[in-house]
A and B are shown apart, each in its own frame.
Chain A
């Protein structure tokens, strides 16, 4: 580890309460920023062992691919922290003493706290496969993982990626950017079909193959084989095929990173258990972000949510609770996005991989097989339930409102052009989509135009 800097004056002198955050990911940093906005006296310290400064985990792949350097992935310039009196401690916490209210660090002096916020993030799942700890076998979560991947793919004739989720496809894309042949083992019959409906999963599957990735659906990892030097030599599939390779990416999901607080007074299950205020069972100890498990999940939400957006919302909300008045966490309609190689994906509301009466589905796919649009709705109340879009950009605010207002699907379809967020001059697909809807449901909906007035209409705006 790098030589750590001495803690600045602004960190320890002052009369405000001492708030210590473990973890400088999106949840911890968002919380710290909002705390500072609301409370100028608080002494805020952020401890992390991974990197000194906050960087965007979602951009790890772009560093490997040469689109950006590490410095580009830092959302704030380095002066930002001291200017806002956010004290950064670059070290690992080895133990939390909940009685004494103190943290033990690996290298530096213990840090006392009045309020502790755990924002520990996730870690890669490993399911006890034989050979999972060999050299050249790894997941992709941390900055250290990235460095290790860089080192172990220098002379790589083939790589195998195990597990078809979002990080799996990112890893495959990363390797392809260095022209490394990739075999992609996916246990499911279709790519990510535990989340995506059949058509969407097939669309992505086709695109993966188009990128010369050897996608093996319905195949599982059995074991990883080693050579004399302790490096990976090949993987063995459950079907008995041996695939020679020099690198194996394990991307079968992540789980809350709670090693630090296991077997302590803190109550945990899969993640750190919290109530609607992110309070744990210990007073003055809160948890946010990936490492959290809700005791009572918010409506339509799962108990553990490991995405960027939820981490950010946790941070915003908890800061308010600590520095102003207690507010329970109430997320709005679900949304998420990702990019599968060249195809962007956005989702709003609830679109599970399968559905039952009374839920009905409308699906449109462009003839090129790379763009599609799905709307799920209640066939009785007509209320919109969720949207999937591939290869199209849609307006978040539009669907956030439609979902909150329980807008009927027909009313949404009529105004679809307002939801369009594709760049100017791009082909517009809403007429085709509306047409397809009319055909499928025997309706005769027409686009509802916003009348343009006066001068602007003349200029075609």
Chain B
């Protein structure tokens, strides 16, 4: 219901741009240009955002094309005003009844979800709750699952490339944004709000599903906490305090813009806090990651702290079994994820070199790299594929095939770590629950049935294999490195040779 309302919002309301509104959203200098260029639009009322945006772009592009043809490069307006202008132009029932709509959509939706989630498994004993998953249309790639996947993909495409169409949604969260950071809501604030809500609500679902399972409960509380505080509230509060927006738990190369000149500049120029951000970020990369991963495995980040991991582990949990377990998928995974890591490292090196060479030589190359990385990896992979493919190919597509930080953590975990999943002697019955529910597509059973410990770069330590194993075969633990990688020729229990 709430989702329906939410989607309907996009088609409601009217759009009217006035001079005053235009002035509000554009810079002084551009305002004069825009006022003349957009003259035919001003005061006119549009029935939908589509008509509005299309007209806006028509006039706007016409102007830029003209300048370009005349090679008046300095006159071209590079800033994108579509979103801001559309948002300002939005009028009518959405804008005037923000509170009501917020109630009807986001709040009602959350409440509805909670009403469904809270009583889940109420009269049941604690245990594995996987009955019927493979028959579910939503969870087993049925019509509902595919529809949802397509919807999510569209959502991401609009969010990344056509935000002007969803201004009505951002209007809803404007008051929240003003309260937190003092500024109006961008599409990213809207995204952050929904993202955080999804982690919180679906985190509560995890508490119900894994009742009695302390590892899962603690881990879920941890990602909920980090998302709400570090990723959502703290950065906005920083903005309120006139500091750069910063997520202290995001680490390069996942946070691929960390070394971009504008980020570095804004950090360095923001006093002590800014310097702290910069130093903290670098410390995490060179000390935090290797040390923590040595002691606890990459799980300390991927399934306890990370925001992408947080969404995958909560909202993505119903789809974890859809990951591909084949050997082929594993070889593709290794090539892809390490290529992205190389891409990210090269891009960053070029950026830094560019910074020190005074933006002379490498300016062009840096720009192109940034653009392509942002488009291919940052948006298309992490967003569209990463989340949109949850109901299609499992909840860790991005983490498994694309995340450069995961690749870095994984290299440490594979070669220098105390973490492993211990196999309990000869108790495995090869049932396959562990492999089926491994979101990273690790064929856990392959190792378990040979009595071998599982040491894999990709393991994020979610602990679900250990939870679902009906014979108590698997245990995530940190222990001496010597006993970590085992190759037992014969399983415990057979003394024949």
Contact = CB atoms under 8 A, between A and B. Distances in A.
Contacts of A62: 431-433
Interface in B122-138: 125-128, 130-136
A337 B435 contact: no
Contacts of B128: 67, 342
Contacts of A330: 494-496
B262 interface: no
B19 to A, nearest CB: 62
B424 interface: yes
Contacts of A313: 491, 493-494, 496
Nearest to A424: B215
Interface in B414-457: 418, 422, 424-427, 429-433, 435-436, 445-446, 449
Contact of A332 (B130, B215, B477, B494): B494
A406 interface: no
A329 B467 CA distance: 34
**Interface centre among B430, B471, B478, by most A CB within 10 Å?**
B430
A28 to B, nearest CB: 14
Contacts of A65: 130-132
B472 A344 contact: yes
B497 A459 contact: no
A309 B493 contact: yes
B427 A337 contact: yes
In order of increasing CB-CB distance, the 7 nearest A-B pairs are A396-B425, A342-B127, A393-B472, A59-B431, A66-B132, A425-B214, A332-B495
Interface of B: 125-128, 130-136, 213-215, 218, 295, 326-327, 418, 422, 424-427, 429-433, 435-436, 445-446, 449, 463, 466-467, 470-472, 475-478, 490-497
Nearest to A422: B475
Interface in A50-64: 56, 58-59, 62-63
B492 A396 contact: yes
Contacts of B427: 309, 335, 337, 346, 396
A63 B470 CA distance: 14
Contacts of A59: 429-433
B460 to A, nearest CB: 15
Given A77-B326, A317-B497, A344-B471, A395 B418 contact: no
Given A342-B125, A425-B215, A461-B478, A56 B431 contact: yes
Contact of B430 (A26, A393, A427, A459): A26
A211 interface: yes
Given A346-B472, A422-B475, 18 more contacts: A66-B131, A66-B135, A73-B432, A75-B446, A330-B494, A330-B496, A331-B494, A333-B493, A335-B426, A337-B472, A393-B475, A395-B424, A397-B492, A400-B493, A423-B215, A424-B463, A426-B215, A461-B478
A68 interface: yes
B325 to A, nearest CB: 8
B432 A56 contact: yes
Contact of A423 (B214, B425, B432, B449): B214
18 contacts: A56-B431, A59-B433, A317-B494, A331-B496, A332-B494, A332-B495, A335-B426, A337-B429, A339-B470, A342-B125, A344-B471, A346-B471, A396-B424, A421-B424, A423-B467, A424-B215, A424-B477, A425-B214
Contacts of A320: 496-497
Contacts of B425: 335, 395-397, 400
Contacts of A195: none
A328 B496 contact: yes
B470 A344 contact: yes
A327 B494 CA distance: 12
Contacts of B127: 341-342
A446 interface: no
A348 to B, nearest CB: 10
Interface of A: 26, 56, 58-59, 62-63, 65-69, 72-75, 77, 177, 207, 210-211, 308-309, 312-313, 316-317, 320, 327-333, 335, 337-339, 341-342, 344, 346, 393-397, 400, 404, 421-427, 459, 461
A425 B222 CA distance: 14
Nearest to A426: B214
- Is the contact region of chain B dominated by helix, strand, or loop, or is it mixed? loop
A24 B434 CA distance: 22
Nearest to B213: A423
B446 to A, nearest CB: 8
Given A337-B471, A461-B295, A461-B418, A68 B497 contact: no
Contacts of B478: 461
Contact of A68 (B432, B492, B495): B432
B463 to A, nearest CB: 6
A47 B497 CA distance: 28
A317 B495 CA distance: 10
Contacts of B430: 26, 56, 58-59, 75, 308
Contacts of B132: 65-66, 177
B496 A421 contact: no
Nearest to A59: B431
A294 to B, nearest CB: 14
A423 B463 contact: yes
B432 A421 contact: no
Nearest to B449: A75
A184 B15 CA distance: 68
Nearest to B130: A67
A112 to B, nearest CB: 30
Contacts of A425: 214-215, 218
Contacts of B326: 77
A393 B424 CA distance: 9
A339 B427 CA distance: 12
Contacts of A341: 125, 127
Contacts of B477: 424
Contacts of A396: 424-427, 492-493
B393 to A, nearest CB: 16
Nearest to B436: A72
Contacts of A210: 125
B288 to A, nearest CB: 14
Contacts of B466: 423
Given A423-B467, A461-B418, A72 B432 contact: yes
A339 B471 contact: yes
B134 A424 contact: no
A177 B131 contact: yes
A331 B493 contact: yes
A175 B188 CA distance: 48
Contacts of A316: 490-491, 494, 496
Contacts of A337: 427, 429, 471-472
A67 to B, nearest CB: 4
B333 to A, nearest CB: 16
Contacts of B214: 423, 425-427
A58 B431 contact: yes
A369 to B, nearest CB: 12
